[in-house]
Amino acid sequence: MAFVFFIKSFIMLHSPLSSLTSSHSFSSHKMGSGQFRSVNTFLLIICLFVIFVQQSSNALLLELSHNSKRSSESISSGCDIFQGSWSYDDTYPLYNASSCPFIEKPFDCQGNGRPDQLYLKFKWKPNRCELPQFNAPHFLRKFRGKKILFVGDSLSLNQWQSLACMLHAALPQSNYNLQKKGNLSTFTFREYDVSLMLSRNAFLVDLVEENNRRILKLDSIQNGDAWRGYDVLIFNTWHWWLHKGRSRSWDYFQEGNKLYKDMDPLVAFEKGLKTWSRWVDSNVAPSKTQVLFQGISPTHYDGKEWDAPIAKSSCIGQTRPILAPEYPAGPPPPAAVVKKVLANMSTPVTLLDVTTLSQLRKDGHPSIYGDGPDSHEGKDCSHWCLPGVPDAWNALLYGILVRNGQLK
């Protein structure tokens, strides 16, 4: 608007009418008044230009303010927090393994002798928004008197221990209690009466023994009775469906009354996941319980997936993440199955879509510094060091809980 006014004023000052009003003046007076008008015109042009620049600057500042506000609000307005990149951050890690005495030995890579530390220094940053900073006291205050249950395999154990460490490291003087009974582990912050619980259940569906046969029942989920009454449920399954030979924990699949000696793991996985989805739809009240599904956690046993120059390379010796937006091999097939099943559910389930961001962290596994029973030919490229990648999963979990209103 200021610019338009500036142009109009300039035209009026230089129009023929302006010249006509002084055409009958004496020549000496004409020269003086002309000079006077020229000076006034010049000064007016300067003033109008200053006004134009000032208003333009104000408009720019206002726009920047709006953009900043949109950026800060984007976590709650549809920003995809799972699209981003890993960024070096000197404030990381969020805790030291030595200050978290309950870390399982297979995850304690530094304690097991891993010499490099660069892998500890990377933070996940979404492309279009900022994740809220993890605030342990705020988390515990908002979940006072509540229970969070992780249900799944050792990748759930990885995330559960990560969250417990993140909370404990921020409040080291807060009393806690850790107990294990059967397949259920409970970590309680007594001061806040908050319980973080883990139910080890590799398949979600029932695995039973009948007539000396181990049977994986793809359409039965009676163990789901133990998942009732929680405020947050975080499920995970996949890795055990891939086991073969002696590492298999079942002898037969069962669907209906029919037994199957073998089945495509992806087909069996989808059948089991659909059974789980029906249980959630029938037994969970969204007004009382928030349900999440931990996305597929990738492995890094095959260097061809990330275009490694050395044949047969794996996670061993990897010290840096892949600094690219996508993983060269693309998402693993079970990730599509998970999204398909969740999309057809009537109960809202939030996907903690950690697959791509974790694929980029070929450096984050215990490799030969795991010292665990789940290593593959002397190396573990399935689980994750702690501190490490699961801390990012929990930062994303925190962001989701903020976005969904549990932590407002």
Contacts of 77 (CB under 8 A, 6+ apart): 70
How far is the C-alpha of 22 from the C-alpha of 218, rounded, in Å? 100
Please provide the distance, in angstroms rounded to a whole number, between the alpha carbons at the two ends of the chain. Answer: 42
Q: Helix (H, G, I), strand (E, B), or coil: what is residue 7?
A: helix
Contact 330, 355 (CB under 8 A): no
Within a 13 Å sphere around the CA of 405, how many CA atoms are in the beta-carbon half? Answer: 5
Rg (CA), the chain: 31
Q: Show which residues are catalytic.
A: 154, 380, 383
Ordered alpha helix ranges (H), 309-407 = 333-343, 355-359, 389-403
CA distance linking residue 124 with residue 357, whole number of Å: 8
* CA atoms within a 13 Å half-sphere pointing along the CA-CB vector of 394: 27
Question: How far is residue 139 from each of residues 125, 159, 160, 237, measured CA to CA in Å?
Answer: 21, 16, 15, 26
